[in-house]
Structure 1
Amino acid sequence: MTRPPHRKAHDLSAKSLSTWCRGELDELLGDVSMLVRHESPSGEKALLDRTADSIMAWLDRRLGAPDHWTRHDHAEHGDLLEVTYSGATGAPVLMIGHYDTVWPSGTLDGWPFAVRADGTATGPGIYDMKAGLVTGVWAVLALRAFDLPCPTVRFLFNGDEELGSPKSRPHIERAAQDCLAALVLEPGVGWDVKTERKGVGIFTVTTHGVEAHAGNNPTDGASAVHALAEIVHQLTREADHDRGTTINVGTISGGTARNVIAGQASCLIDIRVSEQAEAERIDRVFAALRASDPRVRVRVDGRWSRPPMRLGPASRTLFDLANDVATALRAPLDPISVGGGSDANFVSALGLPVLDGLGASGGGAHARHEHVVVDDIPDRVALVAGLLSRLADEPRGQRHPQDG
C-alpha cells in the first residue's frame, strides 16, 4: 500500500483522497473479492461464523488490533461484531453494515466474483452489501494515509440483517446512544444517499373455520378460505399510497381438498409505512378484523420489524456535511427516500443522526444481475472518509442534538 507525502488537512481535498484510493484500487477489489468468496446466507450458521472469523482477521490486517471488540454470539443467526478504533473524538461515529446475504450456499459455484469488461464487478452479495463493508474500512485507511483526523470509529457488522436484525437490533440501539452519528454502509442510489426509509411490517393472518362435506352438508361448515378472501379485501382497502402505506398479500394457502369446506387458511402480508402514525392505524385495523361468519376465528401474528426512518433536524445536519464533501468531490447529493428498510431505521427511531446508502453504487440487489460500479469505488470511499473527517471537527467531537 502506498503512502502519500504528508499534507496539512487544509491543503487536502476530497479529490486527493479519491485519487489515493484509485491508486489502491487493486487492493480494494481484492478485499471485496475476499468477502464475496465467503458465502454467508442468513440461515446457515456455520458459513456465517466462518465469514465473521474472516472479517475479524481482515480488520486486524487492515487497521491493526482494535482498542475494544466484542463478538456478540447468536445461537442461530450470524454473530454481531462490535469493533472500536480510538480516534480524535471521545464519542464515536458508528458505522453499520451486514455480512449476511440472501444467496444460498453453492451460489458462488455458478456465479463467482468477477470484474467485467463493462466496468462492473459482480458476485453474490457484492452490492448488498459486502462492498459497503470495504468502503467503511478503507475510509479509515484513507484518513490514516494522509494523517488526517479521524473520529473514534465503532464498527457494527451483523449477520442477521436480511432477516430483519432480530438479534442485532438491541445491540444497534444500545451502541448508537453515545455516538456522534451513525453511517450505514448499505448501497447508495447512484451517487446519492438514503435519508428516509419505510417502516416494515411482516404479518400472517390465519382463519380457523369448520370443516364439512361441500356437497352433502355445506351449511354445517364455515369456510376459512372464504373468510380469508373477505379479510384480504378488507386489508388491501386500507393501503394509502398518498401517505406511503402499501399492503401486499404475498402468499395464500388453505383447505385440504376441492370438496371439503376449508377448516384453515392463512396469508403472508408485507406492509410498508412512511409514518409511525400509519403503523398504529394498521394495528387498529388488525385488531378489528372479523369474519362475516361468526364461526370463523381470525388470528393475526407478526410484528413491525423496522420503524420508519425520517429525515429529522439532526440527520439533516449530517446530510448537509456529507453534501459538502460530495459537492467538492464530484457532485451534490440528493436525499433519497426508498421503500426498503435497513438497520438505519432503528437509529432514526431513537431520534439520533443517521445517514444511509454510503456504500457502493451499482444495482441488482437480491437479483442475479447484482453488481457494483468499479470506477465509483474510490469516490465512495473518499465520500465516507471526508465525512468522517468533518465529524472529527464538527462540532469538535460533540454530539448533535437528537431529532426529538
Structure 2
Amino acid sequence: MGSQAMATGLMDTEAMVQDLRTLVECESPSGDVAATRRCAELVAELGERWLGAAPRVVRTGERVALLWSWEGPRRRLVLGHLDTVWPIGTLARWPFTHDADRASGPGCFDMKAGIVQAMHAIASLEDPSGLQLLLTSDEEIGAPDSRPLIEQVAREVDEVFVPEASAAGALKVERKGVSLYAVHVAGRAAHAGLEPELGVNASIELAHQVLAIAALQDASAGTTVTPTVLSAGTTTNTVPAAGQIRVDVRARTEAEQDRVDAAMRALTPVLDGAALSIGGGKNRPPLERRRSEQLLARAVQAYRDLGYGELAGVAVGGASDGNFTAGLGIPTLDGLGAVGDGAHAEGEWVSVPDLTRRAALLAALVRPDDPAR
C-alpha cells in the first residue's frame, strides 16, 4: 500500500489540498442525515483510492459510519468525524479558497482536514497492521447514534489517536466532560391583569432556578455551569404556566460531573404550587490528562525526530469523541489534526504547509514499529 500511495502523490501538499476541497464542497451538517450520507460515500471513495480498500459501512440508527480495519498485534484506532456545524448553502456565500499558506471553507478546520491527513498518513505506511480508522457522522451533536459503535471499536484497541483540529498547533491532552440538562417548570396560568394572584408564575420560578443553577459552577475546579436557552409563557397578558431552561456543564473530572449532576437532580421549586422536572445528564466523560500523557511524550519526540521542532499539549473546554474512549480508560491523544483557527466560526482556516507535517506526525505515531513506544 505504501509504495502505491507514494506513486500517486503521498504527502503531496497539492494532493491534500485538492482532497480537502472535495470534502469541503460536499456539505455535511450533522442535522441533515442525507447530506452526511453523501459525504460518507465520497469519503469512502477517497479512502478506497488512498488506502486500497473499501470501508465497512456500519449503520448507526439512520446514520452511517465508515470503518477500515487491518489485522495485527499492536491495536490502534484513528477516530474522526465527517459532519460539520454548517448548514447546506453555506458554500454559496463562503466557497472553498486556498493559497500557499491557508485554505478556508466551511468545516475545513473542524475537521475535514483531519480526515484528509488521516487518509494520507495511513496511506504512507508500508505496514498498517493492527490499525483501524473510524469516521462517524454525528460528533457535532454529541454522537447520540455513534457512541455505542465508538465504544465497541475502542474496547478492542490499545491506543486512540484523534485528528481533530489542534489548539493553535498544540495537541489536546485534556478535554472537559460535558453534561446537558433541560429543567422544565410547571406553574399555573391566570389572567395577568384580572387575577394574577391565582397563577403560579413559571417565569419567576425559572428566575430562581437560573440563579441556583449558575451557583453550582466552581471556577477553582475548572467547572462551568451555564444556563443557556430560556423560554416561558404564551401571551403578554397571561401568567406563564410553563417554562424551560437548558444548561451546559463542563467539568475536568468525573467527580465534578457527578457533583453537578447530583445537585441538578436535587433542585426544588421555590414558589408554592410550582413543580420541576429535570431531563438530560452526562453526555461525554472528561478526557483526563493521565490518559494522554504517555502518548504526548511520544508525539513530542516524533515531532522532533521529523525535524519540525517543539510540540506542546494543552487543556481545552470543548469535547470530542475522544472523550468517550478516554472515559473507557484507553490512552487517547487528541488535536492531531489541522493547524489553523476559527472552529465553528465563519472564516475557519487551516495552514496549508502543516497539512503534510501533521499527517507525517500521525503516521509516525500509528506505525507498528513506532520507536518511541
After TM superposition, is the score higher than 0.5?
yes
- 1:96-147 per-residue CA deviation (whole Å, 9 max, x = no partner) reads 1100011111111222211046x11011100000000111111122233xxx
- 2:94 maps to 1:111: yes
Contact 2:223–2:250, Cα closer than 8 Å, also in 1:
yes
Aligned equivalent of 1:71: 57
- Aligned residue number for residue 357 of structure 1: 335
- The alpha carbon displacement at 1:328 in A equals 2.4
CA contact (8 A) 1:151 1:392 kept: no
Q: Hey, what's the Cα distance between the residues in 2 that align with 1:256 and 1:142?
A: 60
Within 5 A, what are the aligned runs for 1:255-294?
255-294=233-272
Partner residue of 1:318? 295
Report whether the alignment pairs 1:34 with 2:22.
yes
Q: 1:180, 1:391 within 8 Å by CA — same for their partners in 2?
A: no
Q: Which residue of 2 aligns with 1:100?
A: 83
Deviation track 1:13-47 (CA, whole Å, cap 9, x = no partner) reads xxxxxx972xx111111111111111111111211
Q: Which residue of 1 aligns with 2:322?
A: 344
Between the aligned partners of 2:372 and 2:151, the Cα distance in structure 1 is 23
Distance (Å, rounded) in 2 between the aligned partners of 1:70 and 1:60:
11
**1:203-282 equivalent positions in 2, closer than 5 A:** 203-282=181-260
Question: In the alignment, is residue 126 of structure 1 matched against residue 108 of structure 2?
Answer: yes
Offset from partner CA, 1:159-201 (integer Å, 9 cap, x none) = 0001101111111111111213100010011221001100111
AA partner of residue 318 (structure 1): L
One-letter code of the match for 2:348?
Answer: E
How far is 1:393 from its partner?
5.5
What is the CA-CA distance between 1:55 and the residue it aligns to?
A: 1.1
| 1:390 Cα offset (Å) | 6.3
Q: Is the 8 A contact 2:261 2:282 kept in 1?
A: no
In structure 1, distance between residues paired with 2:271 and 2:15: 66
- Runs (5+) with no aligned partner, structure 1: 7-18, 396-404
| Partners of 1:321 and 1:390 within 8 A in 2 | no
- The CA deviation at 1:214 is 2.2
Contact 1:151 1:391 in 2 (8 A): no
Q: Is the contact made by 1:150 and 1:392 (CA closer than 8 Å) also made in structure 2?
A: no
Match of 2:125 in 1: 143
3-state DSSP class of the match of 1:301? strand
User: What's the secondary structure of 2:200's corresponding residue?
Assistant: coil
1:334-387 per-residue CA deviation (whole Å, 9 max, x = no partner) reads 221000000000011111111000011001111111110101111111111111
**Preserved CA contact (<8 Å) 1:122 1:372:** yes
TM-score for both structures, normalised by structure 1: 0.87
The residue type paired with residue 13 of structure 2 is: L
Cα deviation for residue 333 of structure 1 reads 2.0
Q: Is the partner of 2:57 in helix, strand or coil?
A: strand
1:3 deviates by: 6.2
- SS state at 1:277 partner: helix
Structure 1: how far apart are the matches of 2:236 and 2:196? 13
**1:57 corresponding residue in structure 2:** 45
2-side partners of 1:216 and 1:324: how far apart?
74
Written as runs of structure 1 = structure 2, the 5 A alignment for 1:2-41 is 21=11, 24-41=12-29
- 8 Å Cα contact 2:130-2:368 kept in structure 1: no
Letter in 1 for 2:292: S
Q: Conserved in 2, the CA contact under 8 Å of 1:213 and 1:259?
A: yes
Give unpaired runs (5+ residues) of structure 2. Answer: none
Residue 392 of structure 1 and its aligned partner are, at CA, apart by: 4.8
Following the alignment from structure 2 to structure 1, what is the Cα–Cα distance between the partners of residues 169 and 197?
62
SS state at 1:235 partner: helix
1:79-90 equivalence runs, <5 A: 79-86=64-71, 89-90=72-73
SS in 2 for 1:213: coil
Q: Is the 8 A contact 1:91 1:178 kept in 2?
A: no
Q: Secondary structure of 2:267's match? A: coil
- Percent of paired sites with the same residue: 36
Shift of 1:225: 0.6
- The equivalent of 2:304 in structure 1 is 327
The Cα of 1:75 is off from its aligned counterpart by 4.2
Mapped to 2, the partners of 1:239 and 1:302 lie a distance apart of 18
Match among 148, 166, 178 for residue 200 of structure 1: 178
SS at match of 1:242: helix
Q: Which amino acid aligns with 1:165?
A: A
Partner of 2:283: 305
Local SS of the residue matching 1:143:
coil
In the aligned structure 2, how far is the partner of 1:85 from the partner of 1:363?
33
